[in-house]
Chains A and B, each alone.
Chain A
């Protein structure tokens, strides 16, 4: 037994969360409890050891410390437990060495602390238990309280004793003020004198001051709101005595709740609302003319459900409704509770967020365009003057940049960002300034931030060191990239943000309508002669041949190639165009041409582009539609973006991915990727010259591969030149 007790104590003292549970007033008291814990372990070991008496001094030390805390009013519940235990064990130790007087004193103090304390003969020597009982008998009497109705709180000299009704309980002999109180009833106070060994019994008739109402609902779990205040929730199952009543109301008694009391209802009229998720709210008026019990009719709650059909571009996005995972898009979700919901559709490439309201039986279909998310990491000042403006700048930035349409712009929790940046040993300024951290550090930090915040890019604003604090440099940085796009704004002028927002919201077009007609302007023709027809193109399929002169599209004259390009620009992929051509002999013919599509390269250096935003959009394509041709072209363009930043290693990686995934056909194709692969390797340094030459040779061998788009210049001659 002793060993068991010791084990329990060791386990208790070793519990990591133990010290945190007690409401310690100060660190000093916390340390005191820790000391007591340690003493308890030692004392218990001595108590269970061969010389039990050696534990007495340790228990006394503990008792002194705990009584001091008690005197200060800061003894925690666990401290009280240990104090009771210490008195018991010290008493037993005294008893075992024959010092009964001392033992009696310990037990007396224990009983005063906890009059209901009892020892079990199963665990402690019967002699000791008897001795303890004899001490207790001399100190305690007994109190029993019953009330009508029962369930009243019984307080003894201001301390809670029990709920009525209860059997006689051990109480230290003495004078007491007994308070019996119950919600909706008048509080009763009785003074009693309890003598040792004597039993006092109180029977109290409580006088009602408020009404109660008893609700039964089908199903249970219905929240009861009275006059706009939540007063309780129905629960349990219905007692058989009310089954008939429930049946009479068309309810299934087996599904109904127990009678749930809402007490303390003031006299008058009350609006009662019964609310349950996914059910229609029921409102009833409850008139309470007098303080008594009321039993409104049982209420059957009607389910209120809707159907939600979700699609997304790209598909395969995770659906979260009010934080609950509900599969991936595309999906039809039946049985969605009517009402307000927070819908999140998340993809590695971005997310879609929307607050929706569903009506009962509604079928809502939502197309959820996935947009990359941009985390605003904050404002950094490069001077003391700038520091003073941080809050104002941040407010203006958030206010203005929330208008960005093609990105989910938000401010993430600062502590999360700080923690990750600290772990990666980089500052906000270190991510974006001219003297930024090493590229690998920036890349890794942004990748970690992206993962933690579920975003694809970041914005850090920098206030430069300038006399008049007017400028903020907005640095846009795609996750995984190391070089930002800086953009200067006058931070307190709303109009200054418009150009930036317009640049951010610029769409990346991977495909354009394509005819495959390569025409040339001359001063010799009334129209444009066809110089070349791209192999496999719509023009080739339409049988158009070089030498023919195109002179009208859709009835509009074509005087210059620009007219043809404008017609294509205003058309859509798949559109049918009516062309009129004339051959060398002057014979006209009409041709219907169904527009195809040509992939487009991102220009390597275009000042109007925010390349980090372009990268965010392209990643959406490549990660959203893995294995598709679109993803392959996105990878090719990601490589071009990396080359724009001079990051040829990243470009190389993107191109390796693109090379095998791109189609093998005339136009923008595998040969294009091989050419750029050579260019990347060439720029990576002389040690890659041989590999670069191999890539160029491979590109030169690909017939009809082009640059820019399917009508662009041929790769082969360029690659052949560079291979030399």
Chain B
């Protein structure tokens, strides 16, 4: 329903009652109804109510809250940062004394943080969050702003500062709606700092203090993963002999496997020419079809990104082909030897072009935006994003894994040879939430490296003869495809 229509209908339906209510009361009613729609996920109806307030009740006390909700709609439903920013800016500038103002600064900070690529941009986001704490110290938005400050610091790699910010949420706002999330972040950032035992305590606090929160289950996965790696003198993985998620043709010619956070295992098999999702109970979901399937990754919005030789599919959307300048100057050439694809946190789509041994960057509209990294030829078999915004490239020529930031700056690498290992035929790579890197080497098993590139463990057992694809379960268990035995094994 259009805004004017809503207003007219409202006036008709409620007639006498509305005539008696003051504009403030009417606007308040619309706002509350809109929020109720939002909770029921009836976002369009909610938006109509909010728009009615900002167009028909501009002088009321509810108008700032309505703009705030409109901004949220654009940010969270439409994924339109520009429109969201416009709405939040309006609240911050036009209604600086209102209840909505701290919320506007909070969301402006989030928008700035989400698009930030450089430390200076993150500092801009921190300034917005700081404004909430400084200008509105008694506002309900303070704990959220503090929490978001921690996330921003984490994004900047300033883990100690992140812990401090989240600790303040935990200390000063222990019953706020972000307290459990903040406690989880404490554990996470401590783990990123290499303080694994403290990190386990941090995660355990989530379970002890917020057992009913959605973070408690995730914390259990994290403590399990950390304890397996760092609970004893050395990491301990044991083969899960009962694990057999699939059978038959699906296990032939498997190009990639992927475990999602919901614990659905995707298997991309050229034999069945599709990627098939298998739930925890063994049931198969709707598959994604394609030929010459290469890689499976997750986008930042947790959509499955399936790369095939000549196209890439992001989630349930139609398969897309890509073009880039080729051998003929001035002409775009359709990519027909795609090796890998991934979507970055900033929204770029990275495609490994096997023909020209390069990595290309595309925007969200699938428009070519240039090369990722320098022009040096690279035989990239896998691209994936780690949890901290790092982009890992598995180079089969160089037999290395290199991790870059969004701007192409090298962050860390695992080279072909090091203390206790030699990568002979690396075919797949996975990175856990703590930035430990797992490399499937067809001739050596699965190697586990810490973020500094030191070998932690080699998984090499008779049951795993020729690992060619790899993924990690949420609790840190390693799931590998053995192309020789044509089976999937799990080390837990």
Contacts and interface: CB of A to CB of B under 8 A. Distances in A.
A133 interface: no
Interface residues of A, number: 30
Given A520-B201, A522-B224, A523-B220, A605 B232 contact: no
B204 interface: yes
A336 interface: no
Contact of A562 (B176, B208, B227): B208
A607 B171 CA distance: 14
A531 B198 CA distance: 9
B173 interface: yes
A192 interface: no
B207 A561 contact: yes
Given A523-B475, A529-B227, A607 B175 contact: yes
A532 B171 CA distance: 22
Contacts of B211: 562
A604 B173 contact: yes
Interface string A615-650: 000000000000000000000000000000010000
B224 A524 contact: yes
A561 B204 contact: yes
A718 interface: yes
Contacts of A707: 171
Interface in B184-243: 186, 197-198, 200-205, 207-208, 211, 220-221, 223-224, 227-228, 231-232
Given A521-B220, A532-B197, 11 more contacts: A520-B227, A604-B173, A605-B172, A605-B174, A606-B174, A606-B175, A713-B167, A713-B202, A713-B205, A718-B164, A722-B164
Interface string A595-611: 00000000111111000
A311 interface: no
Nearest to B142: A605
B160 interface: yes
A520 B207 CA distance: 9
Interface in A561-594: 561-562, 565, 584
Interface in B117-176: 137-138, 160-161, 163-164, 167, 171-176
Contacts of A146: none
5 closest A-B pairs by CB: A522-B224, A523-B224, A603-B174, A522-B227, A604-B172
A520 B223 contact: yes
A518 interface: yes
Chain B interface, >50% SS class: helix
Nearest to B174: A603
A340 interface: no
Interface string A502-544: 0000000000000000111111100001011000000000000
Given A531-B197, A532-B197, A521 B204 contact: yes
A514 B205 CA distance: 16
A603 B175 contact: yes
A560 B221 CA distance: 13
A713 B205 CA distance: 10
A337 B138 CA distance: 58
Contacts of B223: 520-522
B174 A562 contact: no
Contacts of B175: 603, 605-608
B204 A531 contact: yes
30 contacts: A518-B201, A520-B231, A521-B220, A521-B223, A522-B220, A522-B228, A522-B231, A523-B224, A524-B224, A524-B227, A524-B492, A529-B231, A531-B197, A531-B204, A531-B231, A532-B201, A547-B232, A560-B207, A562-B207, A562-B208, A608-B175, A646-B137, A713-B167, A713-B202, A713-B205, A714-B198, A718-B163, A718-B167, A721-B160, A721-B161
Q: Which of A532, A547, A560, A605 has the most CB of B within 10 A?
A: A605
> Majority SS of interface residues in chain A?
loop
Interface in B326-360: none
A603 B208 CA distance: 15
Residue of A522, A604, A718 with most chain B CB atoms under a 10 A cut-off: A522
Given A605-B173, A605-B175, A646-B137, A521 B167 contact: no
Contacts of A646: 137-138
A604 B220 contact: no
Nearest to A519: B204
A605 B186 CA distance: 19
B224 A604 contact: no
A284 to B, nearest CB: 72
Given A523-B475, A524-B224, A565 B208 contact: yes
A529 to B, nearest CB: 6
A722 B167 CA distance: 12
Contacts of B174: 603-606
Most chain A beta-carbon neighbours within 10 Å: one of B186, B197, B202: B197
Pick from B137, B176, B208 the residue with the most CB of A within 10 Å.
B208
Contacts of A603: 174-175
B164 A520 contact: no
B173 A520 contact: no
Contacts of A547: 231-232
Contact of B204 (A520, A604, A722): A520
B171 to A, nearest CB: 6
A150 to B, nearest CB: 87
A518 B200 CA distance: 10
A47 B160 CA distance: 100
Contacts of B163: 717-718, 721
A648 B201 CA distance: 30
A713 B170 CA distance: 11
Contacts of A718: 163-164, 167
A721 B176 CA distance: 24
In this complex, the member of A584, A606, A646, A713 whose beta carbon has the largest number of chain B beta carbons within 10 angstroms is A713
A568 to B, nearest CB: 11
Nearest to B204: A520
B153 to A, nearest CB: 11
Contacts of B475: 523
A78 to B, nearest CB: 68
A700 to B, nearest CB: 13
B401 to A, nearest CB: 27
Nearest to B170: A713
Interface string A470-491: 0000000000000000000000
A547 B176 CA distance: 34
A586 to B, nearest CB: 13
A426 B151 CA distance: 46
Contacts of A561: 204, 207-208
A547 B230 CA distance: 11
Contacts of B164: 718, 721-722
Interface in A344-393: none
Nearest to A711: B201
Most buried by A among B167, B171, B231: B171
Nearest to A518: B201
Given A547-B232, A713-B167, A718-B164, A520 B176 contact: no
Nearest to A601: B171
Interface string B451-492: 000000000000000000000000100000000000000001
A565 B208 CA distance: 8
A713 B168 CA distance: 12
Contacts of A529: 227, 231
A286 to B, nearest CB: 76
A523 B202 CA distance: 17
A604 B171 contact: yes
Contact of A605 (B167, B176, B231): B176
B196 to A, nearest CB: 10
Contacts of B137: 646
Interface string B293-312: 00000000000000000000
A721 B167 CA distance: 12
Contact of A531 (B171, B186, B201, B492): B201
Nearest to A546: B197
A357 B160 CA distance: 66
Contacts of A524: 224, 227-228, 231, 492
A524 B475 CA distance: 10
